[in-house]
Chains A and B, each alone.
Chain A
Amino acid sequence: MIGVEHLTVTYGEKVALEDVSLTLPRSGVTALVGPSGCGKTTLLRVLGGLLTPQQGRVTGLEPGETAFLFQENRLLPWRTVAQHLTDVAPRHSATPPRAWLELVELEGEEGAYPSALSGGMARRLALARCLALEREVLLLDEPFTGVDPQRAQRILQRLKDLGKPVILVAHEPHLAQSCDRVMEL
């Protein structure tokens, strides 16, 4: 289990999370839902070790075992689709980059640069790069922004089939309902 105990995060005067405690299962796909500004992304960033809370702590997660998909794609305009994956893949990875591209339905685009991709394709590349890190826990911030609903459902099913714990922020109700569990903030 992943434990969040009495978490408080503030950005200057603005309180993003105040004394939040919850338990997240370390299996299946968990959707974090809630209105905009309720602290979903902040919670995910704390879980990913990208943000240090002013108070509280996270248990059940080791440093370096999470792969974080940022809300923005953060692609490198000068690297091809294939290079984005090989850049982050572990040195002795047994999974070829093509496998991750197939998972996000981006095969055949290996040589393309991000400027040649549509918004949805760029989002899927960012997701593939996150998967290519091959880390134990996936933290995905709005992974299906710009991806058409049917394709998003197929990719979500493949994420479930990976068997890794996934915690994702979802704004689309139908996608949240397809997850193993929904947690409202």
Chain B
Amino acid sequence: MLRIAIPLAVWLGVWQLASYWVGRELLLPSPASVWECLLRLGVTREFWLSAGYTLLRVAAGLAGGVVLGTCLAFLTHFCTWADWVFSPAIRVLRATPVVSFILLVYLWVSRTNIPTLIAGMMVLPVVWGSLTAGLNAVDGQLLEMARAYGFSRGKTLRLIYLPSLRPHFTGALLNGFGLAWKSGVAAEVLCPPKWAVGSSIQKARQALETPELFAWTAVIVVLSLVLEWLLGLWLRGRQEGTT
């Protein structure tokens, strides 16, 4: 408990001192005014709808990126022509700045779907890269044993590939989650849909409501930390349940 309370108190203190030193709420609001703003927002329907829809969009993008990244990793590993076709494209996707994608996609897709698509596009190369590395690292001696002992493809996948890939998949999921969250909200800011945390951040910025800008940012940070913690718990639970 102290491990959480002490750094929280230290950084809140630093924030309070900095705010006092700056002396202008417009530039740096105090923690108290941000807290007040959060309480005020928390009782509105818009707050919960925005947080809920943002969460849904990010989760959908993450799920899509994970599924597609996993499928492509297996495809490019086992199929030479797929490797030739898809691997360079995925590397290009990984190297392209998220803002370029957001602005490009804005021309083709409705605003509501952009954050999901962007989150998925950012997660896909991470999952693909991690699982490709995992597939390349699967123990060749175990695969030879599976062939010599007559394992079917399904059994080889279930008993050798999937357990070998578990640490890579877990790492990719945790990294992908953070990336999906950040890129999804960035897409919401640049292409604001109706109900979204990013849209609210954009509105607060335009209205020079700095405490509200901070309050929405705090919502993103808290949601991200809580969900990452829950995801970590779930992954650890699955790991313990299978060993």
Question: Which residues in A have some Cβ–Cβ distance to B below 8 Å?
Answer: 48, 50, 64, 67-68, 70, 72, 74, 76-79, 87-88, 113, 129, 133
Q: How many residues of B contact A (CB 8 A)?
A: 14
Which B residues are CB-close (under 8 A) to A76?
A: 142, 159-160, 163
Of the A-B pairs whose beta carbons lie under 8 Å apart in the complex, a sample of 26, sorted by A's number, is: A48-B148, A50-B144, A50-B148, A64-B150, A67-B149, A68-B148, A70-B141, A70-B145, A70-B148, A72-B141, A74-B142, A74-B144, A74-B145, A76-B142, A76-B159, A76-B163, A77-B163, A78-B163, A78-B242, A78-B243, A87-B159, A88-B150, A113-B243, A129-B149, A133-B149, A133-B150
Report the separation of the CA atoms of residues A74 and B143 in the bound assembly, to the nearest whole angstrom: 9
- Given contact pairs A76-B142, A88-B149, a sample of 6 additional A-B residue pairs in the complex whose CB atoms are under 8 Å apart: A67-B149, A70-B141, A70-B145, A74-B141, A74-B142, A76-B163
Q: Separation in Å of the B139 CB from the closest CB of chain A?
A: 8
Which B residues are CB-close (under 8 A) to A50?
A: 144, 148
The 5 lowest CB-CB distance pairs between A and B, nearest first, are A74-B145, A78-B163, A88-B149, A68-B148, A74-B141
Report the separation of the CA atoms of residues A70 and B146 in the bound assembly, to the nearest whole angstrom: 12
Question: Which residues in B have some Cβ–Cβ distance to A below 8 Å?
Answer: 141-142, 144-145, 148-151, 155, 159-160, 163, 242-243
By beta carbon, the residue of chain A nearest B148 is A68
Report the separation of the CA atoms of residues A108 and B160 in the bound assembly, to the nearest whole angstrom: 25
Q: Point out which of A50, A87, A113 has the most chain B C-beta atoms below 10 A from its C-beta.
A: A87
Q: Separation in Å of the A129 CB from the closest CB of chain B?
A: 8
Q: Separation in Å of the B176 CB from the closest CB of chain A?
A: 23
Q: Separation in Å of the B101 CB from the closest CB of chain A?
A: 38
Q: Separation in Å of the A131 CB from the closest CB of chain B?
A: 12
Which B residues are CB-close (under 8 A) to A129?
A: 149
Which A residues are CB-close (under 8 A) to B142?
A: 74, 76
By beta carbon, the residue of chain B nearest A64 is B150
Report the separation of the CA atoms of residues A67 and B148 in the bound assembly, to the nearest whole angstrom: 8
Are B155's CB and A87's CB within 8 A? yes
Which A residues are CB-close (under 8 A) to B163?
A: 76-78
Are A79's CB and B159's CB within 8 A? yes
By beta carbon, the residue of chain B nearest A76 is B159
Which B residues are CB-close (under 8 A) to A72?
A: 141
Q: Separation in Å of the A84 CB from the closest CB of chain B?
A: 10
Report the separation of the CA atoms of residues A68 and B146 in the bound assembly, to the nearest whole angstrom: 11
Report the separation of the CA atoms of residues A74 and B141 in the bound assembly, to the nearest whole angstrom: 7
Which B residues are CB-close (under 8 A) to A79?
A: 159
Which A residues are CB-close (under 8 A) to B150?
A: 64, 88, 133
Report the separation of the CA atoms of residues A72 and B140 in the bound assembly, to the nearest whole angstrom: 12
By beta carbon, the residue of chain A nearest B142 is A74
Q: Point out which of A77, A79, A88 has the most chain B C-beta atoms below 10 A from its C-beta.
A: A88
By beta carbon, the residue of chain A nearest B143 is A74
Report the separation of the CA atoms of residues A64 and B147 in the bound assembly, to the nearest whole angstrom: 11
Which B residues are CB-close (under 8 A) to A74?
A: 141-142, 144-145
Q: Separation in Å of the A75 CB from the closest CB of chain B?
A: 9
Report the separation of the CA atoms of residues A74 and B147 in the bound assembly, to the nearest whole angstrom: 12
Which B residues are CB-close (under 8 A) to A64?
A: 150
By beta carbon, the residue of chain A nearest B141 is A74
Report the separation of the CA atoms of residues A87 and B159 in the bound assembly, to the nearest whole angstrom: 9
Which B residues are CB-close (under 8 A) to A70?
A: 141, 144-145, 148
By beta carbon, the residue of chain A nearest B162 is A78
Report the separation of the CA atoms of residues A47 and B235 in the bound assembly, to the nearest whole angstrom: 44
By beta carbon, the residue of chain B nearest A84 is B159
Q: Separation in Å of the B143 CB from the closest CB of chain A?
A: 10
Q: Separation in Å of the A78 CB from the closest CB of chain B?
A: 4
Q: Separation in Å of the B141 CB from the closest CB of chain A?
A: 5
Report the separation of the CA atoms of residues A76 and B160 in the bound assembly, to the nearest whole angstrom: 8
